[in-house]
């Protein structure tokens, strides 16, 4: 096998692995009414140990603010998070990166988690505003 064929085969392998792993994190679809992307998956919250520390955006984390961590959305993006079990929703601003746990789509601050009636983790829909 030539070096070019090996490189092409490895490239195909990495692309297919990335497609499989990204789909394992969340269900992503488009809301055709608004044209916005919606992610469905599990949310978690973080707070006490991170309060006052710098976020990935450079600001200080405040567990009492309506903020969240997302893997890919730009900092400052506002998203609507809906708890599927309670039906309650909250608008949060993305100011950090995460979550780094498989299957989770967003990490909420303590205040935003409480606003949607979440303790621990919850099934949510996340849509960009």
pLDDT at position 20: 35
**CA 55 vs CA 12, 35, 89, 90, 109: distances in Å:** 35, 30, 24, 21, 12
Decide: 102 and 21 in contact? Cβ < 8 Å: no
Residue 66 has a pLDDT of 97
- Whether the upstream peptide bond of residue 99 has omega within 30° of 0, thus cis, is yes
> What's the CA gap between 14 and 91, in Å, rounded?
36
pLDDT tens track, the chain, 129 positions: 555 544 444 344 343 333 333 334 456 666 656 656 688 999 999 878 899 999 999 999 999 999 999 999 999 999 999 999 999 999 999 999 999 898 899 999 999 999 999 989 999 999 999
Q: Is 12 helix (H, G, I), strand (E, B) or coil?
A: helix
Q: Which DSSP category does 73 fall into?
A: S
**Non-local CB neighbours of 36 within 8 Å, separated by 6+ positions:** 30, 127, 128, 129
Evaluate whether the domain defined by 27-128 bears CATH number 3.90.190.10: no
What is the distance between the alpha carbons of residues 103 and 120, in angstroms, rounded to a whole number? 14
Query: What confidence score (pLDDT) does residue 9 get?
Result: 44
pLDDT of residue 103: 87
What is the pLDDT, as a whole number, of residue 87?
Answer: 94
At CA 123, angle to CA 27 and CA 69, rounded to 5? 80
pLDDT attached to residue 30: 61
pLDDT of residue 42: 96
């Amino acid at each position: 096998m030539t070096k070019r064929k090996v490189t092409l085969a490895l490239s195909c392998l990495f692309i297919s692995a990335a497609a499989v792993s990204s789909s394992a994190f969340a269900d992503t679809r488009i809301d055709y009414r608004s044209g916005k992307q919606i992610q469905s998956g599990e949310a978690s919250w973080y707070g006490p140990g991170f309060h006052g520390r710098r976020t990935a955006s450079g600001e200080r984390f405040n567990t009492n603010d309506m903020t969240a961590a997302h893997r890919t959305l730009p900092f400052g993006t506002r998203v609507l998070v809906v708890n599927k079990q309670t039906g309650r929703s909250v608008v949060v601003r993305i100011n950090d990166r995460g979550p780094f746990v498989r299957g989770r789509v967003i990490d909420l601050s303590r205040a935003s988690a409480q606003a949607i009636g979440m303790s621990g983790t919850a099934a949510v829909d996340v849509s960009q505003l």
